Structure 1
Amino acid sequence: MPHYLDNNCPNSTFATNSKYKSNLNTLFKSLSTKATTNPFPPGGFYSTSTGNGTSDAVYGLFLCRGDQNITGCGDCVKTATTTDLQRYCPNSRVAIIWYDECMVRYSNESLYAKMAEDPSSSFMNAKRYEGNQTQFFEIMWNTMNRLAGETANNRTAKKFTTKMVNITRSVTLYTMEQCTPDLTPNDCSRCLMKAIGLLETMRGARILMPSCYVRYETYTFYIGAVNYSLPLPTTSNITIHGDRGKLHILIP
């Protein structure tokens, strides 16, 4: 099962028996089928719409994390479209849901190639780095900023990059950044730099936006980082609502 993170559903709603609902169901089926059927969409990204040319048109897309295969991506998108979006956002005309493995969103307005920074959601580790904090955060900021340029100018189907950097002999920084592949390099860069600017100086953090996300940790959290896996810390989750979206503090 995918690891659920957060969702956002504005108050705009539709009637249960409306044409918009029917179009949304068709959209959900299309997204789920595309994510679970070969050929796997390039870059783990797919955008589509139903009811085009009418006032009940629905636009939707999914983006799977760049290290996910068709199984991980498909399970995530299927869970979002068949269960979670209908549970968390019943009758919402606009919604977005994030998991570790994917992001799914839909709207009554076109989404394709439109950079969106809002709504956003932030996850911060409650613990600070116990070593040289000045060194840690200088390396973190420099790495994240360099990675933004690499991600924005990535010429493959995925605007997805990762990087490992040694802080000390015993501490490694793992970083990841991704944009939806429909963005221009300039829009991808703008989105990533906005997200990086929201990072707090903690031991680990991530920022989720509709068009991009960034994350860094001192443990491996993505596939292919190393040839073994370290256990993720057990966490409880505190959610704080503020002007910048939601802030989640992860407490080991």
Structure 2
Amino acid sequence: MPKLYLLFFLSLSFLPFISSSDDYKSFVYAGCSQTKYTPGSPYQLSVESLLTSLSKAAESSTYANFTSSSAEPAYGLFQCRADLPISNCDSCIHSALSQLSALCPGATGAAVQLRSCFLRYDKESFLGKPDDTLLYKRCGGAAAGGYASDVFGLRDAALGSLTAAPPTGGSYRVGGAGYVQAMAQCVGDLSPKECTDCVESAVAQVKAVCGFAVGADVYLGKCYLQYWSNGVYPSRHNHVDETGKTLAIIIGILAAVALILVFLSFIRRAGGSGKY
């Protein structure tokens, strides 16, 4: 995702507050451009018009892309997981829109990936362009016995079934082998061949970055892939992410410091009010 600075750490702060019933809207990552548009500029009007069009389209479709017609056009799209009901897709996209405005205010380009939907806009067209850049990964716990475990033979077979789809295969693909299941979805602006290429890249990257994991998901610029075992999605595994652990510690420390400062301020005010 060129020119977008990814905000992975926000998944740590959002996920604990989301109930299992709302899991399809849980936060995965966001990316914001470093540049901002000028308030009241033609481009701001283009962005607002574009996002309005995407919001309306989500009421009746799981995928749409638009280009605002103006001197400074904005390009954008949204996509929901293909098996998500329209009503849930609409809800997911509205959640993505609200998080987009909160996380990337005034950004000339931004993207939000929730568990079951994706939304992106930019000043430069990215529509129809392949992108297999690895943006985000989540790796489950290691299988007992490492590669000696039979899970990896089943995993490879399940992932292989995703790339074995014919050239006319759709953007949403499911596969499995034994007790290992897998799914992948490409953004709808890719051709069938480009989608297969992206899924093949995702398969190679999930094996490289998640090694012994019994479940994982990876998000690339124009597709994502998940596999899981024993009927459990990787999002429900105990994921290993050292960056997340470090940030959790930092957030905890900052919260503790803030509470201490509030307490000390209260003590000072109380002491001052007792003086004549």
Same-fold call, TM cutoff 0.5: yes
Deviation at 1:189, TM superposition (A): 1.6
In the other structure, the counterpart of 1:203 is 214
TM-score (norm 1): 0.77
Counterparts of 2:230 and 2:56, CA distance in 1: 34
**More strand by proportion, 1 or 2?**
1
Q: Which runs of 5+ in 2 are unaligned?
A: 1-21, 245-276
Deviation at 1:117, TM superposition (A): 2.2
Mapping for residues 1-252 of structure 1, pairs under 5 Å: 1=22, 2-36=25-59, 40-41=60-61, 44-52=62-70, 54=71, 56-81=72-97, 83-118=98-133, 120-125=135-140, 127-130=141-144, 133-134=147-148, 135-150=150-165, 153-154=168-169, 158-166=170-178, 172-199=179-206, 200-201=210-211, 202-220=213-231, 233=236, 238=241, 240=243
Query: Which letter does structure 1 place at the counterpart of 2:45?
Result: S
Taking only aligned residues, the RMSD between alpha carbons, in angstroms, comes to 2.5
Percent pairwise identity = 22
**More helix by proportion, 1 or 2?**
2
Q: Secondary structure at the match of 2:165?
A: helix
Change (3 A) 1:220 1:47: farther
Counterparts of 1:232 and 1:239, CA distance in 2: 16
Q: Which runs of 5+ in 1 are unaligned?
A: 167-171, 223-230, 242-252
Query: Which letter does structure 2 place at the counterpart of 1:51?
Result: S
**Number of residue-to-residue matches in the alignment:** 216
Change (3 A) 1:143 1:238: closer
- Relative contact order (alpha carbons < 8 A, sep ≥ 6): 1 or 2 greater? 1
Residues 72, 101 of structure 1: 8 Å contact kept: no
Query: Which letter does structure 1 place at the counterpart of 2:139?
Result: M
Counterparts of 1:219 and 1:153, CA distance in 2: 30
Deviations 1:131-186 (A, max 9, x none): 673432122123212312317531xxx511112321xxxxx212101112321222
Counterparts of 1:146 and 1:164, CA distance in 2: 7
Query: Which letter does structure 2 place at the counterpart of 1:115?
Result: P
Residues 152, 179 of structure 1: 8 Å contact kept: no
Counterparts of 1:152 and 1:66, CA distance in 2: 19
Residues 37, 107 of structure 2: 8 Å contact kept: yes
Change (3 A) 1:186 1:90: same
Query: Which letter does structure 2 place at the counterpart of 1:49?
Result: T
TM-score (norm 2): 0.70
Query: Which letter does structure 2 place at the counterpart of 1:188?
Result: C
